[in-house]
């Protein structure tokens, strides 16, 4: 399909957001991934989320590593700067970009090999540093570009296309992120746009590090019987544990819920997440119980999905423990500091050198 060029002229009847942009304005180049790839569905959800949030594309910095996931920033937000770096190192590049210009809306797209094998160190440390970004792991349990090797997220017992069975224990990015103190942890499925879009929106609005691990079946190398990351397996074992609606800052929480079912968590910019149909004893702000609950569902063979954990914003809406909070940086981007404020000048240098005599 990649030989088809996208038309530059849009249908006049397309819906526009308050910036006057259509969804088409949030698209990128035509995908070159396999037809039916879960990653393309995630790309579509990303486009929808940015359009609905009315974020100007050029205010976004999109980053990725290497692998099929690494290609996807090409396929959304063509008017945003992107940085497709080296394998497993998307977190450090994003950290640097966010350090330099905190106004950029950072979205990093990674894969299970990129984040949980070669880049696991960087993944762990970007969580620790609480970099303000949305971190997406497009998780298919397999190395696609190199033709089907197991990745570190492959489940024990999962069967590869050529029949080998994985015997090594998987690394679960969601449990890992919870352990490392991430303030926003979600899991979803590329085939569930209805669940995915609100989580992406909430993740983009969360100040601090937000992880969403999206089960994204690889139609070519990991969509067969015996794979635990296939469309069929995921649908069969998928548990929409937590339903969350994203409510932008200016909106009233309009949806009506049966009493006792709904719970609202405020985000830093005044927006909110409303959880509905949460199981009776589930508290999405209690890290330990969330951890235990996910483990429990896993033992019974279920993949718990939804916005599983979120740290509520402080009363003043700030987040003193995000990257710039810890760094103590000025509120404006460092890239906008005037040189006069950065260079102490000749007199200061002369005076300073008194101590070197």
Partner 1 sequence: MKGPGRRTATRRGTDPEAGRAQPANEDGRAGGERVNDLAFKIGTVNGTGSASANGLLRSAIFRMGIPVSGKNLFPSNIQGLPTWYEIRANARGHTARTSRFDLVVAMNPATYGRDVAETVSGGWVMYDSSWPLPRELDRDDVTFLGVPLAKMTVDHFEGSRVRILMKNICYVGALAALLQIDLAIVRQLLRETFAAKAKLLDANFQAIDLGYDYAMEHFDCPLPVRLEPMDGNRDSIVIDGNTAAALGCLYAGATVAAWYPITPSTSLVDAFTAFCHRFRKDPETGRNRFAIIQAEDELAAAGMVLGAAWAGARAFTSTSGAGLSLMSEFIGLAYYAEVPSVFFDVQRVGPSTGMPTRTQQGDILFAAYASHGDTRHIVLFPADPRECFDFAVEAFDLAERFQTPVFVLSDLDIGMNDWVVPTLEWDDSYRPDRGKVATAEELEAATGPFHRYLDVDGDGIPRRSLPGVHPAGAYLNRGSGHDRFGNYTEDSEPYADVLARVGRKIDGSAPHLPAPEIELREGARIAFVTVGGCRGAVREAVEVLAGRGIATSWMRIRAFPFHGEVEAFLKRHEINFVVEQNRDGQLRKLIVAETEAAKGSLRSILYYGGLPLSCHHVMDGLAPWLEAVAPATANGVQPEGAGR
Residues near partner 1 (CB under 8 A)? 56-59, 61, 63, 73-74, 78-86, 89, 91-101, 103-104, 121-122, 124-125, 129, 324, 327-331, 333-335, 337, 339, 341-346, 348-350, 352-353, 356-357
Least distance in angstroms from the C-beta of 28 to partner 1: 9
Cα of first residue to Cα of last residue in the chain, in angstroms, is: 71
Pick between residue 254 and residue 346 the one whose CB is nearest to partner 1.
346
Least distance in angstroms from the C-beta of 159 to partner 1: 32
Q: Which two tokens mark 320?
A: 């003193």
SS3 31: coil
Pick between residue 99 and residue 262 the one whose CB is nearest to partner 1.
99
Least distance in angstroms from the C-beta of 351 to partner 1: 11
Q: How far apart are CA 141 and CA 153, in angstroms?
A: 5
Q: Which two tokens mark 45?
A: 């959800």
Residue 17 phi/psi, 5° resolution?
-90, -175
Least distance in angstroms from the C-beta of 133 to partner 1: 11
Q: Which two tokens mark 201?
A: 């929106």
Pick between residue 37 and residue 308 the one whose CB is nearest to partner 1.
37
CA distances 61 to 31, 82, 120, Å, are 19, 6, 22
The closest of 31, 72, 76, 75 to 55, measured between CA atoms, is 76
Least distance in angstroms from the C-beta of 180 to partner 1: 12
Q: How far is CA 308 from the centre of its chain?
A: 13
Least distance in angstroms from the C-beta of 259 to partner 1: 45
DSSP state of 328: T
Q: Which two tokens mark 62?
A: 């999109």
Q: Which two tokens mark 71?
A: 């290609």
Least distance in angstroms from the C-beta of 215 to partner 1: 26
Specify whether the CB–CB gap between 117 and 150 falls below 8 A. Answer: no
Q: Is 252 exposed, middle or buried (0-12, 13-18, 19+ CB in 10 A)?
A: exposed
Q: How far apart are CA 38 and CA 31, in angstroms?
A: 12
Pick between residue 137 and residue 241 the one whose CB is nearest to partner 1.
137
């Amino acid at each position: 399909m990649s030989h088809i060029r996208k038309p530059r002229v849009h249908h006049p009847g397309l819906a526009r957001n308050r910036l006057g942009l259509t969804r088409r304005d949030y698209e990128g180049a035509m995908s070159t991934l396999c037809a039916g790839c879960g990653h393309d569905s995630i790309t579509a959800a990303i486009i929808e989320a940015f359009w609905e949030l009315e974020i100007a594309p050029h205010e976004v910095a999109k980053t990725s590593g290497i692998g099929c996931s690494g290609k996807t920033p090409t396929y959304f937000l063509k008017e945003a700067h992107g940085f497709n770096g080296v394998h497993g190192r998307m977190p450090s590049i994003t950290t640097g970009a966010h350090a330099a210009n905190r106004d950029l809306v950072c979205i990093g797209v990674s894969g299970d090999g990129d984040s949980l094998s070669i880049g696991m160190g960087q993944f762990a440390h970007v969580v620790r540093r609480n970099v303000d970004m949305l971190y997406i792991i497009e998780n298919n349990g397999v190395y696609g570009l190199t033709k089907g090797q197991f990745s570190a997220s492959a489940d024990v017992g999962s069967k590869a296309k050529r029949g080998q069975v994985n015997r090594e224990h998987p690394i679960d990015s969601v449990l890992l992120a919870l352990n490392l103190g991430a303030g926003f942890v979600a899991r979803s499925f590329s085939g569930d746009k209805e669940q995915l879009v609100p989580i992406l929106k909430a993740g983009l609005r969360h100040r601090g590090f937000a992880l969403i691990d999206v089960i994204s079946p690889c139609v070519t190398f990991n969509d067969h019987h015996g794979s635990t990351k296939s469309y069929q397996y995921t649908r069969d074992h998928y548990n929409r544990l937590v339903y969350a609606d994203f409510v932008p800052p200016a909106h009233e929480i309009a949806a009506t819920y049966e009493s006792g079912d709904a719970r609202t968590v405020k985000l830093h910019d005044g927006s909110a997440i409303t959880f509905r149909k949460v199981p009776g004893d589930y508290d999405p702000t209690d890290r330990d119980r969330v951890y235990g609950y996910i483990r429990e569902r896993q033992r019974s063979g279920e993949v718990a999905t939804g916005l599983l954990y979120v740290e509520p914003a402080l009363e003043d809406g700030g987040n003193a423990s995000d990257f710039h909070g810890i760094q103590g940086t000025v509120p404006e981007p460092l890239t906008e500091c005037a040189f006069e404020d950065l260079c102490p000048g000749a007199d200061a240098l002369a005076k300073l050198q008194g101590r070197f005599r």
